[in-house]
């Protein structure tokens, strides 16, 4: 509670001081009410003309006094750069949580190395060998057929040239 003293003007009694303060409060209240009424009237007049006036905080009703907090309330309690350091710590911690299992999986895969080649059974190897020999034989036969066709084409062209 405030202590009011009469040191400044000893001629004023305590009751007179109370009355002065009461009158000042009443005057300030009346002025505030008049200002609100005037702002409401100005807002209505502006709306009638199609003009939008924004007073106070964004989204607040027109003509009603509001208090807008610009900065977060905890900003004034924190030393500078604490917010930046805390954000960096959280991002680093999240990165570690995400990257650690991925790095472990990559490390295990590297340690295992390449998988051992699968041994082909002897019976399948024999079948593959036989298949390769058959393909080679077919290739040789196709080559002979193409040579025969080339020779036949050459004979036919010579015969046509002699007949002409």
Q: How would DSSP label each residue in 141-163?
A: HHHHHHHHHHHHHHHHHHHHHHH
Q: Residue 58's Cα: distance from chain center in Å? A: 26
64 Rama sector, left if φ>0, alpha if ψ -120 to 50, beta otherwise = beta
Q: How confident is the model at residue 64 (pLDDT cuts 50, 70, 90)?
A: low
Q: In this model, does residue 54 exceed pLDDT 70?
A: no
Regarding predicted confidence, which is higher, 4 or 85?
85
The pLDDT of residue 3: 47
Please say whether the beta carbons of 29 and 19 come within 8 A: no
Question: How far is residue 161 from each of residues 6, 56, 124, 147, measured CA to CA in Å?
Answer: 143, 107, 56, 21
- How much of the chain exceeds pLDDT 70, in percent? 76
pLDDT in tens, 136-150: 999 999 999 999 999
Instruction: Count Cα atoms within 13 angstroms, Cβ side, for 90.
Output: 6
Q: Calculate mean pLDDT across residues 50-71.
A: 60
**Lowest-pLDDT range of 16-20, 154-158, 160-164:** 160-164
Q: What is the pTM of this model?
A: 0.29
């Amino acid at each position: 509670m405030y202590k009011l003293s009469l040191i400044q003007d000893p001629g004023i009694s305590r009751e007179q001081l109370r009355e002065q303060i009461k009158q000042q409060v009443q005057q300030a209240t009346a002025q505030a009410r008049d200002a609100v009424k005037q702002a409401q009237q100005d807002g209505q007049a502006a709306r009638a003309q199609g003009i939008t006036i924004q007073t106070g905080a964004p989204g607040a009703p027109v003509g009603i006094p509001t208090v807008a907090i610009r900065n977060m309330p905890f900003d004034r309690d924190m030393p500078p750069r604490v917010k930046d350091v805390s954000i960096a710590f959280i991002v680093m911690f999240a990165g570690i949580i995400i990257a650690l299992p991925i790095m472990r999986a990559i490390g295990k895969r590297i340690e295992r190395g390449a998988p051992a080649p699968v041994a082909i059974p002897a019976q399948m190897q024999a079948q593959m060998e036989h298949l390769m020999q058959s393909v080679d034989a077919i290739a040789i036969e196709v080559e002979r057929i193409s040579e025969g066709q080339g020779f036949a084409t050459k004979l036919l062209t010579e015969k046509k040239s002699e007949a002409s």
